[in-house]
Every structure is written in C-alpha cells, then in structure tokens.
Amino acid sequence: MENLALIDSFSEFKDDKLIDRVTLMAILEDVFRNALKKKFGSDDNFDIIINPDKGDMEIWQRRVIVADDDLDLDHLEITLTEARKIEPDFEIGEEVSEEVKLIDLGRRAILALRQNLISKIHEHDNTNLYKQFKDLIGEIYTAEVHHVRPRVVILVDDEGNEIVLPKEKQIPSDFFRKGDNVRGIIENVELKGNKPQIIMSRTSEKFLEKLFEQEIPEVFDGLIMVKNVVRIPGEKAKVAVDSYDDRIDPVGACVGMKGSRIHGIVRELGNENIDVINYTTNAQLYITRALSPAKVSSIKIDEENKRAEVFLKLEEVSKAIGRGGHNIKLAGQLTGYELDVIREGNIAEEEDDVELTEFSDEIEAWVIEEFAKIGLDTARSILKQDVNDLVRRTDLEEETILDVMRILNEEFNA
C-alpha cells in the first residue's frame, strides 16, 4: 500500500487533459528505473511490476547468495546469514528476490522522483500536442479568443490548447473580442524551448482554398478542383478552378445562384473581393480570364522569359490594372507571367498625349500616384474619364479631380 499511496500522490500532477493510466505507469517505470540506476549504478537486477488496473506497482531486487566473508557488491549480492533471515532453506549460489519499498529510497530520492515525474508528464503532453497539431498543418481550425494583444491574439480551443494568431496573419479588417470564435488554418507548429507554439493564419492562400472545400460540396467531393489561389488579404483574391466532368460548370458551382455559395467565404474574409475563373492550360486564354473584368484585345507571349504584353483599349486599361494595381498583380501571380499593359487608341491622340509626371510642378506627387494606381498615367487618359467615376475609384475628392482636369485641359487648349 505504501507504493500505491506514493503513485496516487504522483498522479496528482497530471495536467488537465489527464494522461491515461497505462501511459502514466510507463512513465513511472521509466522514472523509477532512472532513480535505481542513480542509486545503485544499474537497474539490471531489479524487476518493476506494474498493475495499471489497480494503479499499483512493486519493485523487487534480485541478489545472489554468497558466503558471509565473500561479499563484494552488496547491491548484487547478499550474505548467506542475511538470506536465511528471509528464508531459512536458502543456500549459497541461489538467487534471492526482495521487495524494495519506495519509502526506503529516502526522502531526497522521493522528492527527485516526484520532480522527474512532473517533468516527464509535461514532456509527454508537449510531444503529443506537437504531433497532434503537426498533422493539422494546412487544415481549418476554430478556437476562441482568450486574450487580445497589440501584436498577437491568443486563442484557446475546446481542450484548453493555446493557439497564436499573429497580427501579420490577421486580415487587416479583423477585429476580435474576448470570447469570439475565430477560424483560420494551422500554418505551423514551432518548438519554443520544450513547449510547442501553434501558429494560426487567416491570410494564407491555403485558408481560402480550404474554405472552398468546406463551403462548396463539389470541391469537397473532388468534382471541382481548386488549381491555384492568389490573394491580397482583405482586398482581392483570384481562384482558378477546374472540373474533369464537362457537365459541371466549376465557376457557376463555386459562385452559386446570385453569389449565394461564395457569399459566406467573402464575409469570413472581411468582404474580400473574390474572382473565380476557369483554369486552362492555354496561356493566352488563362491570362485573358485572369484579367477579368477587363476585355483584352490581344496578347503577345514571351514564353522563355515568362512575360506577356497585353493589348487593351484605353477604356479597358484601368479595369485591367484595378484599384491599387491589385487586379493586374494578382493576374500575374495566378498565371505565372509578368504582364505588361499596352494601350490601344487613337494614334494622333497618343502622339499628342503627355505623361502625367510632366505636370509634377502643378500636381502633387501623391495625386499623380492615385491616378497611376488605377492605370491612368497620361493627361488624355484622365480627361476621357467621368468625374464621378474617378471619385469612386480613387481616394481623391471631386474638387481635386476637377482641379487636375483644369490643369490638363489648359495644356491642350493653350
């Protein structure tokens, strides 16, 4: 019962997840064998018998009987006189098994055992946690906000495991309060000392791909394949999809009637604008689709340097480039080509046109930059635009746009 009482006292140090009894007994045996090696130099002549059902254990020491004046190694040998105190019939050369009580190891040894057991249990938990989440890398996971800090949000799952969501892995519009449920993918598991740190991400392309799997049955079933995903988190994303079954419209299935299927994904990603396009191995067609909603006139591809010249009518240029240059940037990432926009238009007007940077003395640099973001970098390209449309597509006030147009008009009317 002394051993049982000690085991029960040790088992109090199991953490909240409760190690199963069998595992605890295996850890106990390892701890006790280490203690025996430290005390006697070897544990070869010790038997540790563990009963996981009862939670009990016994330690037995085996020693060979020698003559009283022939004792050399007392942890391996026992004198005949001492052996016959245990059993009167013993003879020299026989083996004696004697139970060792843990309490006989001494108070200091028991305290060391206790500390070693705690360490082994924590090590076991950390190893299991590391393996568990290593297998979940790339999968969607949900956890609750426990603490919000300036550079990181600390989450806790249903089992009490701590998960880290760094600021750079959050969508810019994300705003969390304690108790909120947060979805993301397990992006990595890092060992900090002996403790695993679980990293979640909401900005990864993999997160968007997994949301498609979760929200769209045909993707989950493998009828539709997500071939590639690129995104600027919280702003815009492009997803190329394909299907082996000609009867299935992959884009239509992903978007749903009036966007019903993709709406939940958009909402999850902070109203990120998601373009879903049909994948194709035809590079020209793929680039054309990737630059949607712009209508491409023609494309000249340099396959060796992975570059493509995209010819567009003047009114299509700003659509191809997109707000902040996001559309053309993502189209290039999606297709793997560096895209150069070539404007098509009235030759006389183009020859007569003036680069917007030529007006840097009269127009502030940041204003010129705002126009450039939507593909307008010449005087005539701006003058062709509707003022209200420019207000909508840029961060400029109507008064600023009208002032710029006045300056540009004076150039051509001088």
From 4-8, 166-170, 302-306, the region with the lowest mean pLDDT = 4-8
Q: Rounded CA gap, 75 and 63, in Å?
A: 7
CA-closest candidate to residue 238, choices 175, 199, 200, 290: 290
Task: Name 20's Cβ contacts closer than 8 Å, sequence gap at least 6.
Answer: none
Mean pLDDT of 51-80: 75
Task: Count CA within 13 A, CB hemisphere, residue 261.
Answer: 18
Mean pLDDT of 275-302: 92
Please check the confidence at residue 104 and state whether its pLDDT lies above 60.
yes
Given this model, what pLDDT does residue 163 score? 93
Q: Band of the pLDDT at 2, cuts 50, 70, 90?
A: very low
Rounded percentage of the chain residues whose pLDDT exceeds 90: 38
What DSSP state is assigned to residue 204?
S
Please check the confidence at residue 285 and state whether its pLDDT lies above 90.
yes
Mean pLDDT of 262-289: 93
Given this model, what pLDDT does residue 16 score? 42
Q: Residue 348 is encoded by which pair of tokens?
A: 């006389």
> Is the pLDDT higher at 299 or at 100?
299
From 8-12, 67-71, 271-275, the region with the lowest mean pLDDT = 8-12
Question: Average model confidence (pLDDT) for the chain?
Answer: 83
pTM over 0.85: no
Beta strand spans in 4-73 (E): 46-51, 56-66
Q: Rounded CA gap, 389 and 381, in Å?
A: 13
Alpha-helix residue ranges (DSSP H) falling in 41-88: 80-86
Q: Band of the pLDDT at 190, cuts 50, 70, 90?
A: confident
Task: Name 320's Cβ contacts closer than 8 Å, sequence gap at least 6.
Answer: 291, 294, 296, 310, 312, 327, 328, 331, 341, 375
Name all contacts of 262-269 with Cβ < 8 Å and 24+ positions apart.
262/215, 264/215, 265/208, 265/211, 265/212, 265/215, 268/183, 268/211, 269/171, 269/202, 269/208, 269/211, 269/233, 269/234, 269/237
Q: 3-class DSSP state for residue 130?
A: helix
Dump pLDDT digits (tens) for 315-352: 788 889 888 889 999 999 999 999 988 887 654 455 56
Q: How far is CA 234 from the centre of its chain?
A: 17
Q: Rounded CA gap, 204 and 137, in Å?
A: 12
